[in-house]
Amino acid sequence: MFTVEDYLEILVGLKEHYSFKIASSDQTILRSIGRQVFRGTALTDRQYEVVKNKLNEYKDQFISFDFKNFDDVLNNLRMPLRQINRSKYIKVVDTIEVAKNNPYEAYKENWQWIKIRFPFSKKLILLLDSIPTKGKFNYHHEKGSHTHYFKLTEQSVFEIVEKFQNKEFEIDQILLDLHKDIMEIMNNRKQHVPGIYNLKLKNLNQKAIDVMISAVGEPSIETLALYKDREDLFGLHHFDQSELDDSIFRLTPLSQKIVRRTEHNVLVNSSIYTFNNLAESLLELNRFPLLVCLNENSALDQLHTVHQAFRGFIENTESTVLFRLDNETNSDFNNYVKKNNLNSTLDKNTKIVYINVNKVPKPLLQSGWQAQAMLLMSSIRLSNKTAPMANQLDLIIHYDTDISQFTRLGSGIQKL
């Protein structure tokens, strides 16, 4: 006796060719399910109901081709129905579950993730793809699985709960509570969002306010651009736009671009801006202490360029070069350091520190000295030793004509 699967395969022409006339609106779904069962994959309960309903629409054609016992065949299955896990939930998990026994970086140990699980659904996948944080923030999906992981952040919580809370998902209460808190903040930004309102620092603890004022000064039209320049460092998310524009317009053109950057890494084009232009901006934005990374093969020229640009603004005793080159081939570099007294002991008063771009000297690590910005005298890929220092900073300047191919890969560098 024929089965439902047989009738489906016959209808779509995979078995015993007949001249069935199939509506164009049915062809895609019937051929898709037909190929599935033809390859030996059983129907799910929902597919079974769809197939029975569709076959009934073509009952007259089956009878015209002399197929017997049509109604009995619709109740006859070749393979038992395939069971589908249709659970849909969103919950919080730890990194260890996301990694699934694979090694991961130590700093991710205490990360939390949002786990989204649902059976295949094009509509839900489109919703998932519309989450802005999917590409920008940490996301993990194991191909072939029904689970998706997003690093737990305020933005990912907001986006995920907003899109899925009315889609019959079971959602952890902690995520619902976080979403509620975020909505409260969004609806009352002035009472919650850290920033500068009417030239006053608001929604910050007093200790943080004291640190900011000691670094930049009281908020004013003169200092507002400096606060904007350090918005990621200070955690500021609001500025009154008209006052901010007024403050920024007082700066040099290059400084304005640096302040309005959207990435921590920026390229200052050396064919457009002289180094004196860049030095002026660093002084204008008070981006000191400054860590300068020199290339070994052009260290003397680069050191001379930086040193001469800041001469008259920064004393030689406030600068130090923390590396030397081989005396046999690079004696001029070592002599320049000695002649200009650029070998002072590193301390809290040091404003400029020069290092080899590929090495981090121990005195720098042991001193507790903290840079406010990093300057690379060419666009070069940082070594595993220097990259961690850059990752702690909110401003890394690449001074070159273009971004190198090595640096471009996997890096967000904004051209100014």
Which CATH number belongs to the domain containing residue 312 in this structure?
Answer: 3.40.50
Is residue 273 included in any domain, yes or no? yes
Report if residue 237 sits inside a domain: yes
In a domain, 401, yes or no: yes
Among 166, 187, 208, which residue terminates a domain?
A: 187
What is d(CA 16, CA 12) in angstroms, rounded to the nearest whole number? Answer: 10
Last residue of a domain, one of 204, 223, 250: 250
Q: How many CA atoms lie within 13 A of 107 on its CB side?
A: 2
Whether 163 is in a domain gets the answer: yes
288 and 380 together in one domain: yes
Residue 374 belongs to some domain of the structure:
yes
Alpha-carbon distance 249 to 237, whole Å?
Answer: 20
Judge if 31 and 98 occupy the same domain: no
Q: Return the pLDDT at 406.
A: 55
Cα(137)–Cα(149) distance, rounded to whole angstroms? 11
Residues 113 and 148 both lie in one domain: yes
Q: Do the domain assignments include residue 83?
A: no
pLDDT of residue 410: 44
Task: State the pLDDT at residue 101.
Answer: 75
Which residue segment(s) compose the domain that 30 sits in? 4-73
Residues 270 and 362 in one domain: yes
pLDDT at 241: 95
User: In this structure, are 167 and 210 located in the same domain?
Assistant: no
If asked whether residues 143 and 208 sit together in one domain, one would say no
pLDDT in tens, the chain (416 residues): 899 999 999 999 998 888 899 999 999 999 999 999 999 999 999 999 999 999 999 999 999 999 989 999 999 999 999 888 889 999 999 988 888 877 777 778 888 999 999 988 889 989 888 887 655 457 888 887 899 999 998 889 999 999 999 999 999 999 999 999 999 888 888 888 899 999 999 999 999 999 999 999 999 999 999 999 999 999 999 999 999 999 999 999 999 999 999 999 999 999 999 999 999 999 999 999 999 999 988 999 999 999 999 998 999 999 999 998 887 777 899 999 999 999 989 998 999 999 998 888 888 888 888 999 999 998 877 777 788 888 889 999 999 998 876 554 445 788 88
What is the domain count for the chain? Answer: 4
| Same-domain pairing of 19 and 144 | no
221, 250, 279 - which closes a domain: 250
Pair 317, 385 in one domain = yes
What pLDDT score does 180 carry?
A: 93
For residues 273 and 399, give the distance between their C-alpha atoms in angstroms, rounded to a whole number. 9
My answer on whether 108 and 210 are in the same domain is no
pLDDT of residue 83: 85
User: 408 and 286, same structural domain?
Assistant: yes
Residues contacting 104, CB < 8 A, separation 6+: 95
Identify whether 80 is part of a domain: no
Shared domain check, 114 and 168:
yes
Alpha-carbon distances, residue 151 vs 11, 99, 157 (angstroms): 47, 12, 9
Q: Count of CB atoms within 10 A of residue 57's CB? A: 11
- Evaluate whether residue 79 is within a structural domain: no
Could you tell me the CA-to-CA distances from 172 to 97, 149, 393 in Å, in that order? Answer: 17, 14, 35
**pLDDT for residue 409:** 43
Are residue 295 and residue 402 in the same domain, yes or no? yes
